């Protein structure tokens, strides 16, 4: 049974990553856990960065060895494994809870590596690039310029992470949770650019596209250029005007033509709708503003909406919906009731 929200209100990233319930959610998300952590973010939006750092700890903590001749690597691994009693290769390592003691043990392993191979390894560890993260709160968008000159417009309730030395990489990689529009700069060396979400990878050279990764569904809409999508041993090549959608529940990848402005207009603080079900608009409201939407008249959830809605604030959206639906829309701090 989920813990009370208040339990996690003061947790730092390491404490959160060490929590069994949080680890289970990161590794095996479920509807109940999604609801709990979404409610937690609604209640404590200032904890979003902490949650992202904790998620990365759970997903990425591993022991790595520096580049050196294979014979030396194998010898070093054998000595370390004998010393610490743990396998160093991620594929050989057992899945264990990531507790504080385990995080401390990883630090001790790193220290053992330094002692065994001397200053060269120590220098290698300390020279590793740091991860840069940008996060937006509910109702907030942000423009991020990457080290390679590419520009990312980050939608509300979203997080973008990448290595600080991204521009020097043969493959430029970023990680996205939420939604963002990418304007990727082509490089003289034709360096590839990859966007990782929970379920798929988008690979490009230089192009403009929108990625939305919400509610176990990932959508990629290509505005210009050409991209390749890879997910669950499936792939697709997109050309301008194409959209690909991947659903985590069915593991299915589908592709179709769309009006790209319907999926990227949020950058101008407007939503362009073309026969969109009101239930889908309600999900947009929840994802963008962190506000729960309820329908006292269930029939209103099936209403089809067309037109342009200013989306700079929840109040603006509410006012337009009153006119479009001819309904009473009551907005409180965390809930929109449509009746």
Summarised one tens digit per residue, pLDDT across range 300-325 is 999 999 999 999 999 999 999 999 99
pLDDT at residue 76 in the model:
53
Residue with tokens 């909406």: 305
CA–CA separation, 162 vs 133, rounded Å?
7
Average pLDDT, the chain: 82
Helices 119-126 + 100-117 axis angle, to 10:
140
Structural domains of the chain in order of their starting residue, each with its CATH number:
5-60 (no CATH), 70-126 (no CATH), 131-263 (2.60.120.1440), 269-338 (3.55.50.30)
For 187, list phi and psi in degrees, rounded to 5: -110, 155
pLDDT band at residue 70 under the 50/70/90 scheme: low
Burial class from Cβ neighbours inside 10 Å (0-12, 13-18, 19+) for residue 309 reads: buried
Asked if the model's pLDDT at residue 257 lies above 70, the reply is yes
Residues in the chain: 339
Structure-block tokens of residue 275: 């026969």
Task: Pick the more confident residue, 330 or 90.
Answer: 330
Q: How confident is the model at residue 31, as a pLDDT?
A: 76
Query: For the packed helices 20-27 and 31-43, what is the interaxial angle rounded to 10 degrees?
Result: 120
Report whether pLDDT(84) > 50. no
- CB contact set of 46 (below 8 Å; sequence gap of 6+): 137
Write the burial class of residue 282 (CB in 10 Å: 0-12 exposed, 13-18 middle, 19+ buried).
buried
Q: Which has the higher per-residue pLDDT, 39 or 109?
A: 39
Among 94-98, 137-141, 213-217, the range scoring the smallest mean pLDDT is 94-98
d(CA 197, CA 253): 14
Longest dimension (CA), the chain: 74
Provide mean pLDDT across the span 73-83. Answer: 55
H or E element that contains 80: helix 70-84
pLDDT tens per residue across span 137-147: 999 999 999 99
pLDDT of residue 97: 46
Which pLDDT tens digit goes with each residue over 120-179? 444 444 555 788 999 999 999 999 999 999 999 999 999 999 999 999 999 999 999 999
Rounded to an integer, what distance in angstroms lies between the CA atom of residue 197 and that of residue 178?
Answer: 9
Q: What percent of the chain has pLDDT over 70?
A: 78
> pTM of the full predicted structure?
0.64
pLDDT for res 1: 47
Average pLDDT, stretch 110-117?
Answer: 46
The first and second tokens of residue 302, run together, are 């099936």
pLDDT of residue 338: 95
225: closest CA among 212, 210, 238, 211?
A: 238
User: Alpha-carbon torsion 33, 41, 195, 24, what sign?
Assistant: negative
Question: What is the three-class DSSP state of 160?
Answer: strand
């Amino acid at each position: 049974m989920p813990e009370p929200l208040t339990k996690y209100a003061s947790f730092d990233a390491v404490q959160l990553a060490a929590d069994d319930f949080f680890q289970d959610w990161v590794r095996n998300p479920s509807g109940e856990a999604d609801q709990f952590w979404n409610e937690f973010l609604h209640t404590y939006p200032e904890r979003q960065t902490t949650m992202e750092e904790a998620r990365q700890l759970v997903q990425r903590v591993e022991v790595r060895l520096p580049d050196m001749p294979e014979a030396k690597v194998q010898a070093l691994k054998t000595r370390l494994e004998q010393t610490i009693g743990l396998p160093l290769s991620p594929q050989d390592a057992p899945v264990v809870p990531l507790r504080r003691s385990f995080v401390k043990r990883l630090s001790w392993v790193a220290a053992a590596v330094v002692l065994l191979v001397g200053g060269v390894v120590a220098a290698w560890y300390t020279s590793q690039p740091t991860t840069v993260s940008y996060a937006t709160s509910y109702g907030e968008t942000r423009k991020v310029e990457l080290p390679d000159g590419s520009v990312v417009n980050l939608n509300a309730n979203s997080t973008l992470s990448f290595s600080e030395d991204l521009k020097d990489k043969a493959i430029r990689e970023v990680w996205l949770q939420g939604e963002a529009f990418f304007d990727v700069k082509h490089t003289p060396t034709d360096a590839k650019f990859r966007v990782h979400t929970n379920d798929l990878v988008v690979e490009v050279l230089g192009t403009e596209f929108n990625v939305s990764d919400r509610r176990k569904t990932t959508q990629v809409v290509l505005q210009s250029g050409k991209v390749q999508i890879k997910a669950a041993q499936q792939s697709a090549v997109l050309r301008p005007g194409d959209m690909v959608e991947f659903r985590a529940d069915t593991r299915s990848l589908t592709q179709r033509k769309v009006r790209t402005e319907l999926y990227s207009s949020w950058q101008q603080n407007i939503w362009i709708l073309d026969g969109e079900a009101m239930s889908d608009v309600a999900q947009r409201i929840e994802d963008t503003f962190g506000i729960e939407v309820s329908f006292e008249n269930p029939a209103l959830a099936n209403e089809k909406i067309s037109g342009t809605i200013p989306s700079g604030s929840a109040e603006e959206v509410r006012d337009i919906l009153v006119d479009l639906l001819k309904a009473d829309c009551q907005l409180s701090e965390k809930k929109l009731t449509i009746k």
